[in-house]
Structure 1
Amino acid sequence: MEWVYIKNLKDYIDKEVELRGWVRRKRSSGKIMFIEFRDGTGFVQVVVEKTTVGDENFEKADKLRLESSLIVRGKVRKDERAPSGVEILATEVIPVQIPTEDFPIQKPDHSIDYLMEHRHLWLRAKRQFHIMRIRDAVIKAIRKFYWERDFIQIDTPIFTGAIGETAGNLFEVDYFDYGKVYLTQTGQLYLEAACMAFGKVYNLGPTFRAEKSKTRRHLIEFWMNEAEVAYYEHEDNVRLQEDLVYYIVQYVLNSAYDDLVAIGRDVSKLEKIQKPFPRMTYTEAVKFLQKQGFDIKWGDDFGGDEETVLAKQFDSPLFVTHYPRQAKAFYMQPDPENPEVVLCDDLLAPEGYGEIIGASQRIHDYDLLVERLKENNLPVEKYDWYLDLRKFGSVPHSGFGLGVERTIAWIAGLEHIREAIPFARTLYRVHP
């Protein structure tokens, strides 16, 4: 008998199959039992009739508890009322392991702290199943986008001696006789080196920020997708980000639509997203916020409230461009028409989800980069290899970083980013 996954059962109508998985729910009525069965690809109802399976099999099924592992053999029957479109009429039930105690997650009113403490088991819940499938679709979309455009994937290091942003947000690690190194907060500097070799490059991997933040938008460990392209200037960079985010949304709508609906996402809001995305400069944004009653002046950074109000005006994500030079990182290219601002952008997701991309054209002039390092009190000698890129065939180039979990949280409509990653690392959580 062929072992089949639930997601493929529609191809086996009226055929005998074997399923391997777990009990999610169970109810019985006399000589008939209904098992909600899951196998990691979906959920299906297994009907166990005493007259069909016999007394011994029925007794085995009766002893099953929530999250018992088992093998089911039976016939696939079409059932339009079922979410999966089919059900299984069991002919044999083979328990693999029956728990000796109650499954810890059964009540509908568990606190979020309790659920996070049992995250290793909470992942088995239907909602978490669908969220992780949406995450999987987002990551597939990212890779597919770059592969279709002939980008080369470059895996950037997690241990780094160079700082991409500010040292205050880094985790220090003792690295043998070398001294202090850091857990990476960005692979950007290494991607800049790679783009000078391969032209168009990207990465996808974990990054770390030692920020004591407890907001619904922050994680300590999170995944980033970054890209760098040689000869790309600011406008090229903005278009690439726009294409990527639009591609991700369309891919998820096409491949994970049922998962979005299953968790209650209003998909009509995603369907309204259109290119080109709206834009405003930082200066225009400040003036708008001041008119809305915000106590903000030119040069101040935007917080979550400000980002929400800005993005709330639009159905599609919003580009805010040309931030003040002193408010941004040392490597950002000043605008030749106004050196007090830099050629950069933040992409703000609608519906209050805030920044999902930070981007800029990079400084390609050696002397200007040294000047900016000194202005930011960064050790020039630590950036010797980064400065080398400006000595040998330097060209204008641009790139960005997309926060994967923030993007998932927005697309899935999650209230908190902690559900967008399998095992969240937040200010007070490293367990499990």
Structure 2
Amino acid sequence: MYKDITIAKVQDFEGDKIRIKGWLYNKRSSGKIQFLQVRDGSGFIQGVMMKKHVSEEVFELCKTISQESSIEVLGTLQKDDRSTLGFEIFVDEVKVIHLADDDYPISLKEHGTDFLMENRHLWMRTPKQNAILRIRDEVNFTIREFFRKEGFILTEPPIITPASCEGTTDLFEIDYFGEKVYLSQTGQLYAEATAMAFNKVYTFGPTFRAEKSKTRKHMNEFWMVEPEMAFADFEDNMKVQENFVEYVIQKVIKTMKRELQVLERDTGALERVKAPFPRITYTDAIEMLQKAGYEINWGDDFGAPHETYIAEQYDKPVFITHFPAEMKAFYMQPDPKDPKVILGSDLIAPEGYGEIIGGSERIHDKELLLEKMKQEGLPTEVYQWYVDLRKYGSVPHSGFGLGLERTVSWICGIDHIRQSIPFARTLNRVYP
């Protein structure tokens, strides 16, 4: 009797008769032996078929099976130290469920990135892309695990919103039964509302930015996790951020060793990601860059080369704090000691991956918020519900947003963010 198992669980069945249901990823032949590379969605394993061990019919059948045909492989699971998995199947029988067309577009030769993205629905079947998306799943789960342990409540913000949340014109406009509305750029303002009801909350969902950017760090649709905390100041906020990032990174390098190995990811830099993280003010960062020869002035935003240089001065993520107020969103709390800057920070990941978190203490004084909104030219009537939060039991509160795809890209050590999501939406791509 054969046991139905998944490749991910093979270590529990050494020496047993097993059945794997999956797809033929690759095959090769050596005369009287055929080697079948099989995947089942949980992993990859090699099946070894000896001509003298199987029927002539089965041996000949396997010569005709095309790449990505769906099959059942039956045999004995045996130890194989040469395999990254540590096991292989000594094949007794193979059954074809569906014989794939023989013009499968993604062969095992090299393909250009545009071609592979055009065939993203198939590209994700390959070992490295599969490993990236499995790590994304683990990061996704670990984020929720952390916030559950810390007493946060998950609350879902709307995706359709009546106005900008961050004072930018980079919005996707849609017609909502004759009314002009937008796809949300962030769930943060709504998280502030739910934090006043539940104290500690987080949102986790898709966000949309209509930026015409082609960099390797940008997409037009991406996922954000956005915690918000009542009775929390700027310092409290950064402590949660560094504990959160440490928890996610250390959990993933522990649970996803095989996937990181497939990606050939050197985890040394990740292992150093432990709180506390170093901090540098925006002003000091500008001076650091100027001394290094960069042409940048106080009030300028950081570009990718600037963030990379700053990150290279440290061996773990670094906070850049106290940005100029004019650079940041209207809701960020000015520093009482210097109102030109805000009580906010960006967390910069090592190895050139740039900003992965932006956060701040929020303005909790109604009059100051109204003044900031007036300066930004924001319509009070659209934001009246947001102002109400400062009328009825306002408290100091803080929050931040972490970009899921940038974090996954950093953990995986991949060059472009588009590989960190199943189906990327970028400036020139809405297919597949």
TM range, normalised to the smaller chain?
over 0.9
Aligned equivalent of 1:200: 200
For residues 65-214 of structure 1, what are the structure 2 equivalents within 5 Å? 65-177=66-178, 179-214=179-214
Moved over 3 A (4+): none
SS of the residue 1:168 aligns to: coil
Alignment match, 1:254: 254
- Find the residue that maps to 1:91 and give its secondary structure: strand
Say if 2:412 is the partner of 1:430: no
Is the CA contact (8 Å cut-off) linking 1:261 and 1:267 kept in structure 2?
Answer: no
Kept after mapping to 1: 8 A contact 2:167/2:330:
no
Q: How far is 1:200 from its partner?
A: 0.5
Residue in structure 1 matched with residue 23 of structure 2 by the alignment: 22
Q: In the TM superposition, what whole-angstrom CA distance separates every residue of 1:264-302 from its partner, at most 9, and x where no partner exists? A: 211111112232101011111111111111221111111
The question of whether the paired residues in 1 share the 8 Å contact of 2:332 and 2:342 is answered with yes
Gaps of 5+ in 2: none
SS at match of 1:137: helix
CA distance in 2 between counterparts of 1:11 and 1:46 reads: 17
- The answer on whether the counterparts of 2:167 and 2:376 sit within 8 Å (CA) in structure 1 is no
Q: Which amino acid aligns with 1:75?
A: T
Pairwise CA distance, 1:16: 1.1
Mean alpha-carbon deviation: is it higher for 289-298 or for 400-409?
289-298
TM-score by length of 2: 0.98
Q: What amino acid sits opposite 2:257 in the alignment?
A: Y
Please say if residues 155 and 191 of structure 2, whose CA atoms lie closer than 8 Å, have aligned partners that are also in contact: yes
Q: CA deviation at 1:103?
A: 1.7
Amino acid at match of 2:120: R
User: Match of 1:182, SS?
Assistant: strand
Normalised by the length of structure 1, the TM-score is: 0.98
Q: How does 1:403-422 map to 2 (within 5 A)?
A: 403-422=403-422
The aligned amino acid for 1:371 is E
Distance, in Å, in 2 between the alignment partners of 1:272 and 1:231 is: 31
- Summarize deviations over 1:103-155 as a string: whole Å, max 9, x none: 21114321111111111110011110111111112111111110111110011
Question: Partner residue of 2:378?
Answer: 378
Shift of 1:27: 1.0
What do residues 406-432 of structure 1 show as CA deviations (whole Å, max 9, x unaligned)? 111111111111111111111101111
Quick one: percent identity of the two aligned structures?
53
Aligned residues: 431
The one-letter amino acid of 2:56's match is D
Residue 309 of structure 1 is matched in structure 2 by 309
What are the Cα deviations for residues 331-369 of structure 1, in whole angstroms up to 9, with x where unaligned?
001111111111000001111111100101001111111
The 2-side partners of 1:386 and 1:162 are apart by 12
Higher mean displacement: 164-173 or 206-215 = 164-173
Partners of 1:42 and 1:87 in 2: CA distance:
12
Aligned-partner Cα distance in 2 for 1:7–1:375 = 57
Q: How does 1:315-326 map to 2 (within 5 A)?
A: 315-326=315-326
Say whether 1:37 aligns with 2:57.
Answer: no
Q: State how far apart, in whole Å, the 2-side matches of 1:308 and 1:78 are.
A: 44
Question: Where in structure 1 are there 5+ consecutive unaligned residues?
Answer: none
What are the residue-to-residue correspondences of 1:53-64 with 2, within 5 Å?
A: 53-64=54-65
Distance 1:393 1:428 in 2: 46
Matched, 1:401 2:393: no
1:326 and 1:9 map into 2 onto residues whose CA distance is 57
- Report how far residue 14 of structure 1 moved: 1.5
CA distance in 1: counterparts of 2:402 and 2:91, whole angstroms: 47
After superposition, the C-alpha distances for 1:230-272 in whole angstroms (9 at most, x for unaligned) are: 0000000010111111111101111112211221211111112
Whole-Å Cα distance in 2 between the matches of residues 380 and 288 of structure 1?
A: 40
Partner Cα distance (1:413, 1:150) in 2:
31
Distance 1:409 1:84 in 2: 24
* Larger mean Cα displacement after TM superposition, 56-65 or 322-331: 56-65
- Per the alignment, residue 346 of structure 1 pairs with 346
